[in-house]
Structure 1
């Protein structure tokens, strides 16, 4: 019996946790659904990743208003995926900030990604009709690194390397050693790697570890509130990426096709990672991208709703 396409059968809402990491940093998490980070400065608030629609953003804003009445001036996009960016208008920010690489990806594939993601995971796009027409466009971009000052509080926005996408951005509070990683790091949640760079991702995780965060807000999963928890999150993400990369490369080296490589990789990873959130959702996309990278496509191909369906039917029946 074939599996329901992507996560269309996932209809159960997840309870939200709003975790205080410091007087300035908070994590909005929901048991493996996409996380949002909040930084409260002296004179303004910054939101990292927006939720998927303006209606869903309202619950984040409600939590923010429980701790501060300062204006939400900045929204930071850790990367371009629709589930992270389409809620931006709900905050009415002065600026939406992203890396130049993320901007370029929005230009190249934003429309296709939007349609693809809404089709894969409808529960995460509650009240999708509230999303304004068109795409979410950054009003500020940077290359490599920039600082935003919220009064006397410095927030560094840094590209530490490619991993989840080529445009990944982390938000870093250097004085407090708190990091918001986006989907470069997950915790007890399966990394989505359909647009990833498997060969680069482990080094990028090393670059995160080199900052020595004492707390970290991952893209999915609970906030990591101690250095030991941070180490576990980094190690788990690294393990998944390297295990998948090794399994797929072995299948490619043996001359096997995508379908055979998928079945073998799924069987190899299921015992160790099958209990992680969205494992069955991610594996077809992840293996397909890893197979591409290991064969003909150094850069990720554009996912469309049609390509999603064709891939799913080929691998899952």
Structure 2
């Protein structure tokens, strides 16, 4: 089972390392998206890599350990591409060439063939690649604290390219490590209005004026917040076009609306909420390109930007219609005192 030692001593290890690097870029994207690769550029890279490894495997001079790793790596790539039948064939080829390759064990786990991954890991002297896989398992299970520890352990021994490609997952694990109950609100790539309110309520002090410190049901909490006006625009009157429901997807515009209302109510300055509309009423254009002067949330956006609650996406535009993730909203929420 000393596969990594065997690989270190065979000709062509540098070529395997190059294949691993190319694979890591694609594999990390697979885990970031939590699904098969759909990005056209990455898909082209994946198909080219699969073709290159297939051509290399046809070399009759290859040592068995090298060939086993090559087949296992091809199988992991096929798995990421959603080609599970092909991935299984590669696994069988890897096992036939040389039993005990770390990448083959990883492939077997992903295919569901190997149920005792942790136990089998103990049989390897160099566990670095397997520790990285444990990090990916924990990340996929939303056990972010465990994933963070495993990523950091793996990166100590693995080549730098692994950190370069999987580092984004490690950093996200760090950000999400305090999320409660698995798939916490912080881990969501986009929020509904109700989820935005629930995330805000994780800091009881922010909504104390509306909850009086009581634990309310989701329905009652939403009614309280909606009834308080926190979801209403301040630059224009509430109407059917600018109203939101609890299922509405939160864009940066809606987030700014909620945050600006919350900011002013906590500061006891609701009379200043629309001060920007007043200041710009005789102007011809908005200082922010993608937020018009007549936008219902003109004041909310300018207020959030000026008070550094939110920022401009590129220094010019606000990214008004971009959906907001749990992490992004929480960062802005933390700036309201």
* TM-score, normalised with respect to structure 1: 0.33
Q: Where is the strand percentage greater, Structure 1 or Structure 2? A: 1
* TM-score, normalised with respect to structure 2: 0.32
Higher Rg of the two aligned structures = 2
Q: Where is the helix percentage greater, Structure 1 or Structure 2? A: 2
